[in-house]
């Protein structure tokens, strides 16, 4: 499994930004507070300080680096939660790995993220897997609840390690992925995409490595799977209008807006996942997957750079939108009214959505064999 690039905290900022040095010190202070936490209250205080740090720098730092740094501190907090939850547990004979899924698995967390996680067990047979699962589920529930108390809401779709469906041994995980890849229908795959973004956080990382290596061999050799993944990815179109620049929601609580997560960032995430799986990339991060596709000549490097840049601009606007909600005392969300953007933000969003359309057209040509009317 490829290691993410090392990013110095101050490298997330323009060198002229006076916040860079202070941010580096704040990051180190946050790491020390996480490591020093001895109970749930200490963890919750550390989590609150981390959130305050992100709100201070939101909109100031480069998006890709900031997302990785947010994920790095959240990883450290999660590991400490797990360490404390394991105190007093008789698990010395169990080999297991806590895995992150979704945005945490991709190291693309923003200012507002819920939980998506699972457990890989090193079972030696079906009977032993069930016995191990019964031992692990109470611990997994404590961890999920502790993370919720730290500000990471429980997953509404129950994609969490405390759900028996996602606390499996390595053999069961392979069977589950094989059912999606070989036999899965488009609807099942649509609900399974975040599992292909897995990343180990705690425990026996070799179990996640073994699963990732198996996936890297299995996925590219199943064109039907890549075809169905592509069809799913192209269900959503960039919100670009025919007569106006943008096509906004016409009804609902967020009428007149664009969902920067589902209708913008996700377009890049879904396409990059397919290209990453097709070129046997072990990476889960969107930019890393696109870069790997460029290195293997599945994509032209100049296209890769344009698409990564567009994705980062959308992610930066997402974080600015979340921050504006926070400053107004509202629940953070990903919806933006294009009419409320300044001229630079509006141009950046329009260009990024056009890049998303270009990426989708390329994806359709590569895996459906024709250009869709996108």
Q: Which helix (H) or strand (E) holds 168?
A: strand 167-169
- Distance, in Å, from the CA atom of 47 to the CA atom of 78, rounded to the nearest integer, reads 10
Tell me if 327 is assigned to some domain.
yes
Angle at the Cα of 153 from the Cα atoms of 147 and 159, rounded to 5 degrees:
90
Flag whether 321 is in a domain.
Answer: yes
Q: How far apart are CA 299 and CA 84, in angstroms?
A: 45
pLDDT over threshold 80, residue 9: no
The answer as to whether 252 is a domain residue is yes
Specify the pLDDT at position 25: 84
pLDDT value of residue 124: 64
Backbone φ and ψ for 287, nearest 5 degrees, come out as: -65, -40
What is the mean predicted confidence (pLDDT) over 54-65? 80
Structure tokens at 243: 């007569």
Q: Is residue 70 within 8 Å of 110, Cβ to Cβ?
A: yes
The mean pLDDT value of the chain amounts to 90
CB 138 within 8 A of CB 90: no
Distance CA 109, CA 87 (A): 28
Query: Does the residue 46 lie in any domain?
Result: no
* pLDDT interval class at 64 (50, 70, 90): confident
User: Is residue 56 predicted with pLDDT exceeding 90?
Assistant: no
What is the structure's pLDDT at 11?
53
CA dihedral 212, 195, 249, 267 (to 10 degrees): 10
pTM for the predicted model, two decimal places: 0.92
What backbone torsions phi and psi does residue 160 show, to the nearest 5 degrees? -145, 155
Q: Tell me which residue has tokens 């895996």.
A: 367
Any idea which residue has 């290596």 for tokens? Answer: 213
Q: In this model, does residue 14 exceed pLDDT 60? A: no
Mean pLDDT throughout 87-114?
A: 92
CA distances for 221 relative to 57, 129, 218, 297, 335, angstroms: 44, 29, 6, 18, 38
Please indicate, yes or no, if residue 87 is contained in any of the structural domains: no
- 269 bridge partner residues: none
In a domain, 295, yes or no: yes
Token pair belonging to 343: 């001229």
Q: How confident is the model at residue 249 (pLDDT cuts 50, 70, 90)?
A: very high
| β-pair type (335-336, 258-259) | antiparallel
Tell me whether residue 58 is exposed, middle or buried, using C-beta atoms within 10 angstroms of its C-beta: 0 to 12, 13 to 18, 19 or more.
buried
Q: Is the pLDDT of residue 374 over 90?
A: no
Is residue 4 pLDDT above 50, yes or no? no
pLDDT above 60: residue 18: no
Res. 26 pLDDT band, cuts 50 70 90: confident
CA distance 247 to 239: 5
In total, how many domains does the chain have? 1
Q: What CATH number does residue 303 fall under?
A: 1.20.120
Q: Which two tokens stand for residue 266?
A: 């996700």
Would you say residue 319 lies in a domain?
yes
Domain that holds residue 343: 222-374
pLDDT on residue 2: 46
- pLDDT given for residue 23 in this prediction: 75
Residue 338 near residue 258 (C-beta atoms within 8 A): yes
Is 245's pLDDT higher than 80? Answer: yes
Is residue 5 very low, low, confident or very high in pLDDT (cuts 50, 70, 90)? very low
The answer, yes or no, to whether residue 241 has pLDDT greater than 70, is yes
Taking alpha carbons only, the member of 356, 326, 272 closest to residue 110 is 326
What band does 100 get if pLDDT is binned at 50, 70 and 90?
A: very high
Name the DSSP class of 124.
S
Alpha carbons 257 and 230: distance in angstroms, whole number = 26
> Stretch 185-210: mean pLDDT, rounded?
93
Residue 315, phi-psi category: left (phi > 0), alpha (psi -120 to 50), beta (remainder): alpha
């Amino acid at each position: 499994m490829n290691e993410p690039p090392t990013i110095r905290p101050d490298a997330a900022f323009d060198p002229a930004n006076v916040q860079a040095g202070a941010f580096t010190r704040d990051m180190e202070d946050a790491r020390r507070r996480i490591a020093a936490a001895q109970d749930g209250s200490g963890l919750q205080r550390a989590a609150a300080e981390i959130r305050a740090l992100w709100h201070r720098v939101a909109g100031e730092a480069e998006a890709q680096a900031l997302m990785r740094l947010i994920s790095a501190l959240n990883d450290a907090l999660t590991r400490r939660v797990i360490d404390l939850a394991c105190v007093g547990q008789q698990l010395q004979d169990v080999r297991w790995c806590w895995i992150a899924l979704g945005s945490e698995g991709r190291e693309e967390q923003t200012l507002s993220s819920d939980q998506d996680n699972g457990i890989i067990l090193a079972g030696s047979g079906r009977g032993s897997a069930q016995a191990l699962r019964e031992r692990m589920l109470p611990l997994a529930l404590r961890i999920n609840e502790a993370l919720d108390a730290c500000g990471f809401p429980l997953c509404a779709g129950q994609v969490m390690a405390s759900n028996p469906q996602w606390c499996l041994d390595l053999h069961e995980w392979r069977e589950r992925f094989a059912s999606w890849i070989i036999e899965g229908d488009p609807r099942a795959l649509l609900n399974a995409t975040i599992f292909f973004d897995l990343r180990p956080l705690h425990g026996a990382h070799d179990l996640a490595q073994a699963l990732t290596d198996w996936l890297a061999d299995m996925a590219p050799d199943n064109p039907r799977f890549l075809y169905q993944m592509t069809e799913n990815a192209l269900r959503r179109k960039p919100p670009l209008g025919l007569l106006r620049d943008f096509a906004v929601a016409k009804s609902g609580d967020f009428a007149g807006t664009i969902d920067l997560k589902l209708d913008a960032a996700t377009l890049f995430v879904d396409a990059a996942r397919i290209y990453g799986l097709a070129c046997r990339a072990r990476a889960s991060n969107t930019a890393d997957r696109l870069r790997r596709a460029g290195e293997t000549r599945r994509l032209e490097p100049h296209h890769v750079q344009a698409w990564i840049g567009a994705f980062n601009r959308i992610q930066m606007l997402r974080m600015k939108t979340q921050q504006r909600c926070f400053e107004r005392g509202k629940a953070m969300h990903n919806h933006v009214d294009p009419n409320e953007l300044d001229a630079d933000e509006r141009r950046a969003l329009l260009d990024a959505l056009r890049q998303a359309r270009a990426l989708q057209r390329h994806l359709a040509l590569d895996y459906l064999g024709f250009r869709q009317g996108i």
